[in-house]
């Protein structure tokens, strides 16, 4: 039995082409891979600078593509009582277009 992971994933430039404040073309294979990982027990955090209406658009866009998250810009429930700092998000993997390549999936 493999241990499940927590994956924190950026939105713009990672799930879709970076066109903020608009939403760019989807990186479908990344979305599909994350959907598969969640089905296999991994936890997903949408970790984005978007807030307010642009954040709500991103969440709805992901949901429309079948991608849902266990947390949005915060820790998953199992990590909320642990001490990682005020805004520190704990994850095993951080996906971000400015940090890590998609090949890490």
Q: What is the CATH number of the domain that holds 18?
A: 3.40.50.1000
* Domain total of the chain: 1
Residue 20 pLDDT level (bands cut at 50, 70, 90): very high
In a domain, 5, yes or no: no
In a domain, 41, yes or no: yes
pLDDT for residue 87 = 66
Q: Identify the domain containing residue 42 by its residue range.
A: 10-104
In a domain, 36, yes or no: yes
Residue 1 pLDDT level (bands cut at 50, 70, 90): very low
For residues 31 and 29, give the distance between their C-alpha atoms in angstroms, rounded to a whole number.
5
pLDDT for residue 90 = 87
Average predicted confidence (pLDDT) for the chain: 89
Residue 10 and residue 47 in contact, taking contact as beta carbons nearer than 8 Å: yes
Q: Which residues contact 41 (CB under 8 A, 6 or more apart)?
A: 4
For residues 88 and 21, give the distance between their C-alpha atoms in angstroms, rounded to a whole number.
25
For residue range 53-82, what is the model confidence (pLDDT) as tens digits?
Answer: 999 999 999 999 999 999 999 988 777 666
Query: Mean of the pLDDT values across residues 28-48?
Result: 97
Query: Mean of the pLDDT values across residues 1-10?
Result: 86
For residues 95 and 11, give the distance between their C-alpha atoms in angstroms, rounded to a whole number.
9
pLDDT for residue 40 = 97
In a domain, 88, yes or no: yes
> How many residues appear in the chain?
105
């Amino acid at each position: 039995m493999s241990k499940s992971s927590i994956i924190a994933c950026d939105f713009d430039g990672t799930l879709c082409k970076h066109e903020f404040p608009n939403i760019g073309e989807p990186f479908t294979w990344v979305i599909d891979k994350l959907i598969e990982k969640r089905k296999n027990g991994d936890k997903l955090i949408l970790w984005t600078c978007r807030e307010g209406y642009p954040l709500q658009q991103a969440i709805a866009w992901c949901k429309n593509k079948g991608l849902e998250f266990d947390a949005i810009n915060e820790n998953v429930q199992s990590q909320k009582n642990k001490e990682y700092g005020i805004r520190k998000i704990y994850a095993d993997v951080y996906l971000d277009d400015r940090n890590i390549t998609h090949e890490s999936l």
